[in-house]
Amino acid sequence: MVFSSPLFLWALSLTLIPIAIHLFQFRRYKRLYFPDISLLKEVKSQSQTKNQLKHLLILLARILFIVLLVLAFCEPKIPSINGQSEDAKYVSIYIDNSFSMEAETERGPLLQEASRLAYEIASNYPKGVMLQLITNDFTAQQKRFSDLSDFTAQLDLLQISPKHKVLSEVFGFIDQSLREENNAKSNVYLISDFKNILDSSISALDSNYQLTLVPLHAALNENISIDSVWVNSPIIQKNRELELHFRIQNHGSKTVYDAPVQVSIEGKETAASFITLEGESYLDTSLIIIPEAANDLSGTVSLEDMPITFDNAYYFSISVQDKIRVAEIRGDNITENTPFQKLFSGSHFDFTSFTQDAIIQDSLSEINFLVLNQLDHWNSGLKALAFDQLAKGNNLVFVMPEKANASVLDGVKDAFGFDIQQWDTANVSVNAIANEHYTFKDVFESQPENLNYPFTRGYYALNTQSFSNSIATLFNQKPLIASSTIELGEVFLISAPLKDQFTNLHRHALFVPFLMNASNASGVAQKLSYSIETDRIPMSISDEYIEVIKQGDSLAFIPSLTYDGILMNNQIQSAGNYILQNTANTILSKLSFNYDRDESSVTPITMETMEQRFAALGQQIRTLDTSDSLTSEGIATADTSTELWPFFVFAALLLLLFETLLLKRFS
């Protein structure tokens, strides 16, 4: 037992008053004369004994009355089981309403079980305790504390949310709420299946927390999902084969047999199959499609799986281009009929060529691939142009001129890092090509023997420490083609001028796949999809007014436009394929949004791991095992101390009644 107001114990000194009254109270007796007093002596003896007993009982009753009354004013209480003498005035209950809480238990979905437990915990606290319900939505209403009635009303509206929160975010939200309540003491309950919820950014928790974990367990921890979709080429052209890759993952421990998987493009089923997938494994597969038009395509990869369904479909959008735009900037002495012009004159390319003194800047704003062919000089403008393309993820080919002056040699080293040592006229052939690099990968089904490689009679020797990759290596280990990754793109340096007297590289069969692959891999691939929580989409929009519409739905909203993209303002609430259109109903682009796959995992964190983690932070936690006999009522009772002052007041009143009866009965 402890006292909330122990300073009031000084009032126990008031017990001296009835003691003083008892000691100094003298009653005078009248003398009566009787002829025979033998019987009176016996009566006197009996009366005196009764009077002494009565006085002692009255004295004891008065002393105890004062003692009990003083103790009642000191507010005595029995501390809660958790050892806290001061009750928390605030209770925060977090319910994880993420997608993983769709899993089933014997009583129904995990979210339904979480709601039931939250109500039991809240309802077992006494009136006056302020309650807070927190979910992954983190709404403004959830920052406020309320009574049980409002708490129950919020519970009735609880639904699954696509949002996923980790513990550091939950504690941060609680901290903000309690800060508005002057950092009051709080009992915090976390009700969750504890999947992907523990993060490394949790720091020391507030000392005002009394933390209780309430783990929920699904009846079956099984789930399969469409994990991701991707393509290997950043540039997708019409009438050319596109390999669409996707991954299917089994998160459970049991083998899944004959799971149906479908792929649809623009609402039409393109492929369907049945897969068998072992437990805790994934399957990467692909599909060949041939876009027939230069526009955006929307698609879906889907499967059937219960009860967790949010990850059964993966939405994607593909931007198809008509042609790859290639620009060549050549030295003033280089004729227009260059090897690059011959190669990129096909129907799949849009080729433009300028001399370096006649560059049309507007023609270079939308190119995909840049060639700097045997420049006469180097300047800051060319460097800025090159880095602008590399920053966009575009690739660049730099061909060394026959007689490079100091500005070119120094400029190449300064801009791209290639350290050119000297001009070498040795007659030397290529000895090896980088088969694992994307420019030559899969060019040969099998490596041919005695392959006729390109040769050179004049080239610039490079310091082998000044570049990342040797794409084509000469017998003397110097590169004929070297490359380095800069910004988001890759720079390829051809160390020999592309003239017949110096090399036959531009006439060799390997020159074609090298440039085809380098140009096809140029650029940063547009994302096939975004998370629904993505707020900013980088995109160039010239229209002043656009609308976002969900395909197959009436959902539509107007996003905010910025100079380099569009802002969704958290208006994407569900996964799916969306279109962007202007006031003329012209489709500007197609975008796809998916739920994060963080919730796909069905492996929970063990409570031992949680306890160890919090112990390392110096935080004692409790765990409510919902399968044990201990219930939420017991936890709530353990958090509440027992007030004793009503019992003391009641006992004092009984003593007062006892004293009154003594005075009336024996007066």
Reported as a single tens digit per residue, the pLDDT across 538-560 is 887 878 889 999 998 888 999 99
Q: What is the pLDDT of residues 222-274, one digit of tens each?
A: 999 999 999 888 888 888 888 899 999 999 999 999 999 999 999 899 889 99
Q: What is the pLDDT of residues 325-369, one digit of tens each?
A: 999 999 988 888 899 999 998 888 999 999 998 888 888 888 999
The DSSP code for 146 is B
Average pLDDT over residues 143-152: 93
The DSSP code for 597 is G
How far, CA to CA in Å, does 374 sit from each of 96, 173, 415, 474, 494? 63, 61, 16, 21, 10
| Domains recognised in the chain with CATH numbers | 2-79+644-665 (no CATH), 90-219+603-640 (3.40.50.410), 224-321 (2.60.40.10), 324-451+461-507 (3.40.50.880)
Residue 537 β-bridge partners? 566
What does the alpha-carbon distance between residue 50 and residue 56 come to, in Å, rounded to a whole number? 10
Confidence of residue 410 (pLDDT cuts 50, 70, 90): very high
Q: What is the pLDDT of residues 9-44, one digit of tens each?
A: 777 777 777 777 777 654 444 565 656 555 555 555
What does the alpha-carbon distance between residue 428 and residue 503 come to, in Å, rounded to a whole number? 10
Residue 128 has pLDDT above 80, yes or no: yes
Q: Which of 47-61, 116-130, 377-391 has the lowest mean pLDDT?
A: 47-61
Residue 77 has pLDDT above 50, yes or no: yes
Q: How open is the CA angle 546-551-557, to the nearest 5 degrees?
A: 35
Q: Which of 232, 184, 194, 189 is nearest to 210 (CA)?
A: 189
For 55, counting Cβ atoms within 10 Å of its Cβ (0-12 exposed, 13-18 middle, 19+ buried), the class is middle
- Residue 206 near residue 178 (C-beta atoms within 8 A): yes
The DSSP code for 255 is P
What does the alpha-carbon distance between residue 253 and residue 506 come to, in Å, rounded to a whole number? 55
The DSSP code for 503 is B
Confidence of residue 204 (pLDDT cuts 50, 70, 90): low
Q: What is the pLDDT of residues 477-516, one digit of tens each?
A: 999 999 999 998 999 999 999 999 999 999 999 999 999 9
Q: What is the pLDDT of residues 366-401, one digit of tens each?
A: 899 999 999 999 999 999 999 999 998 899 999 999
> Residues near 83 by Cβ (< 8 Å), separated by ≥ 6?
none
Average pLDDT, the chain: 85
| Residue showing tokens 């208006």 | 571
Q: Which of 558, 600, 598 is nearest to 578 (CA)?
A: 558
Q: Which of 70, 68, 83, 85 is nearest to 7 (CA)?
A: 70
Single-letter amino acid code for the residue at 228: S
Which token pair is 201?
């950014």
For the chain, the farthest-separated pair of C-alpha atoms sits apart, in whole angstroms, at 166
DSSP line for 462-483: E-TTS-SEEEEEETTS-EEEEE
> Residues near 412 by Cβ (< 8 Å), separated by ≥ 6?
378, 398, 400, 418, 420, 493
DSSP line for 515-576: HHHHHHT-SPPPPS-EETT--EEE-----S-EEEEETTS--EE--EEETTEEE-TT---S-E
Q: What is the pLDDT of residues 424-482, one digit of tens each?
A: 999 999 999 998 899 998 787 666 667 789 999 999 999 999 999 999 999 999 999 99
pTM value?
Answer: 0.71
